[in-house]
A = this chain, B = another copy of it.
Amino acid sequence: MRARYLTIKDYILDQIEIGVWRASDKVSSENELAQKFSVSRMTARKAVDTLCSEGTLVRSQGLGTFVADRRPVSSLLEIHNIADEVVGRGHDYTCRVIKLEEILTDKSAANLLEMSEKQNVYHSILVHLEDNIPVQYEDRLVNPKHAPDYIHQDFLAQTPNAYLSIVAPLTEADHIVEALVPSKTILSELDSDQPCLKITRRTWSRRGIASIAYLYHPGDRYRLGGHLQF
């Protein structure tokens, strides 16, 4: 016999899923849930308990229980795959390919990739969406030496990050994190007017710099987190 509190938990998750309860909304009280499902209040409470500890709901004594206003937190310490992150949060991941082309390095790109000027490099621009809301604008340069077939990939099936980690396993990375208001082009692709968290990340494989990525995240939809132990 399946636990009754799980039925209630599913019910709450369903209501959130179909949009009956949205972020910051008040959900049914413990007594209402208990009555609706003909269980004791302790059992209804357990359903709410588990959703609180999972970060889906937040409680406030005397006020009620509310859908958490949740911006995702991801790790600074890992090289993350945005698709895995989104799916890991139980959300729908999609992506739009804005650009996928071969270009010649200019001075700045050549410097960053430690190549010489006017060499072929691959250039891709993608927008990653979580439940159809843009969460990352990814502008990436790739050294063809490390990933010769990069330009023929289907990035709807596999993110650039995931593909690169297979053909050119990472040995090293650096990143710079900053806050800024990006260009209008980028803001429009992100459908946002917020300041962005920009991550500039260079990744090395065994034979040198494989790729440089500029990742823009709307400040109100994305946070970076990390936990350290000494």
Contacts and interface: CB of A to CB of B under 8 A. Distances in A.
Most B CB contacts (10 A, CB to CB) among A75, A171, A226 go to A226
Nearest to A224: B177
Interface string A140-165: 00000000000000000000000000
A1 interface: no
A74 B230 CA distance: 8
Interface string A156-183: 0000000000000011111111111100
Contacts of A178: 71, 197, 219, 222-224
Contact of A180 (B177, B195, B198): B195
Interface of A: 53, 71, 73-77, 79, 170-181, 194-198, 217, 219-220, 222-230
